[in-house]
Amino acid sequence: MSRDIEMRLARELPAYALRVVGALEAAGHEAWVVGGWVRDALLGRPGHDVDVTTSAPWQQTARVLRAAGIEVHETGTAHGTVTAVVDGSPVETTTYRVEGAYTDRRHPDEVRFVTDVREDLARRDFTVNAMAFHPKRGLLDPFDGEKDLAARVIRAVGEPRRRFEEDALRVLRAVRFACRLDARIDSATQDALVSCAPELAQIAHERIGQELDGILATGRAAWALRHEFAVMAAAVPELAPMAGFDQKSPYHAHDVLEHTARVCAGVEEFTGGGASQALRWAALLHDVAKPECWSEDVSGRGHFFGHPEAGARTARRVMARLAIPGDVSRAAAALVLLHDFEIRATAPSMRRMLSELERACPGQARRLSFDLLDLKRSDAVAKAPQCTGYAVELDQMTRALRAELAAGAVWRVGDLAVGGADVIRERGIEPGPGVGMVLAQLLATVMDGQLPNDREAQLEWLRW
């Protein structure tokens, strides 16, 4: 590493982390900054939380930091970790350690504390994460992590298979880092992660969900599906049938897997890389039920009747299992359910779309309407060439949607200019289900454009 880069990192190291390192070293202990901050700083990216590793046992770490006026929480003492809080910023501080066997493929059976930081770095997953930095001593890089980072290579520290057998979740972490860093995976590491991917079955579902969510957040789900499908299918077995599934349809030029990869890429293109979490999950799962819904007619043409409804059920099940937040799961399932919903560039059609989204995901229709159009647009360009023109039509629908929303679109009973009390008074009926039925009929009339959303006009309709 050049001295200029080391000086830049020293300047960029947050003051709160420097205070932790300084306090430990003033007390006669060794301390280094490790992990994601070092990796991201070398890339010139904004740093995440700063982690520190030290030669001090955690009890001494806590004592030294408290004596320096630093707040300390004993957050993981079994693994030698305390969390220092400086000016509101947490700094996880861990004693140098090595780990024993991983009988459960997730947690070490034994943690042994050591005095050499190199031994600590040797237990880490990938070379790009096995570097340490000190503002005066510079970069410590025993496994050429800086070189791999520059070359955009994800390589396991030491023997790859051993790394993945220790912790099967690392196969997904490898894919996430490859996506996040726009990197390729070293061939030996790749062979090992494919071999060990089935061990994900032993990992807690919520941990798998966190890693998958991280992969989707990079915007490179298409790459993961194309290059690391064995890992993705091990994480979500419902994806496995998509590979090689011939749709036998004039509307599709690709199997379900390649079509899905193209849709995942499409939502990133059409949103400028800013696709919502729900849209990314919906792109991944929108056709997940096609294999189970497939049928073939007498001409040999394939059909997938009911796959949006079945796909929405599968999406909800998958995302619940992976502990994806409920609001994201509900929104994604609504998009899957309606990704084939027929719409036109007219105000009544926009209102019907909003109404269906409201029914599927109450309170989110306005936001999801644009996600749905982006999903449909991506779906169109991922089909056969003759279908891509539909994406242009969707541009017209987007303009129609914006115009309708600006004009005060009505798609919920609550949007009407009248309410239940008006129905009871004008129709002379008792409170109850009948009131809701009248309001639903009135809403349908307004949504179809037969009646304006005007109070006097709607009262007159009620009197009729």
**What domains, with CATH codes, occur in the chain?**
3-151 (3.30.460.10), 241-406 (1.10.3210), 413-463 (1.10.246.80)
Kindly tell me if the per-residue pLDDT of 68 is higher than 60.
yes
Kindly tell me if the per-residue pLDDT of 122 is higher than 90.
yes
Contact 336, 315 (CB under 8 A): yes
Q: Given pLDDT bands bounded at 50, 70 and 90, which one contains residue 401?
A: very high
Contacts of 111 (CB under 8 A, 6+ apart): 78, 79, 80, 97, 98, 99, 100
Kindly tell me if the per-residue pLDDT of 105 is higher than 60.
no
Kindly tell me if the per-residue pLDDT of 99 is higher than 80.
no
The pLDDT value recorded for residue 109 is 63
Contact 429, 435 (CB under 8 A): yes
The pLDDT value recorded for residue 100 is 58
> Which value, to the nearest 10 degrees, does the dihedral of the CA atoms of residues 139, 145, 148, 154 take?
-150
The whole-number average pLDDT for the span 9-34 is 96
Residue percentage of the chain with pLDDT more than 70: 97
CB atoms within 10 A of CB 206: 11
The whole-number average pLDDT for the span 260-285 is 97
CB atoms within 10 A of CB 102: 16
Q: How far is Cα 251 from Cα 333, in angstroms, rounded to an integer?
A: 24
- Calculate the alpha carbon distances from 292 to 210, 263, 301, 366 in Å: 27, 20, 16, 32
For 343-397, the pLDDT digits (tens) are 999 999 999 999 999 999 999 999 999 999 999 999 999 998 888 888 889 999 9
Kindly tell me if the per-residue pLDDT of 44 is higher than 60.
yes
Q: How far is Cα 270 from Cα 268, in angstroms, rounded to an integer?
A: 6
User: For the chain, give me the number of helices (H) and strands (E)?
Assistant: 23, 13
Kindly tell me if the per-residue pLDDT of 314 is higher than 60.
yes
The whole-number average pLDDT for the span 410-430 is 91
Contact 382, 262 (CB under 8 A): yes
For 200-259, the pLDDT digits (tens) are 999 999 999 999 999 999 999 999 999 999 999 999 999 999 999 998 888 888 999 999
Task: Please provide the size of the chain in residues.
Answer: 464
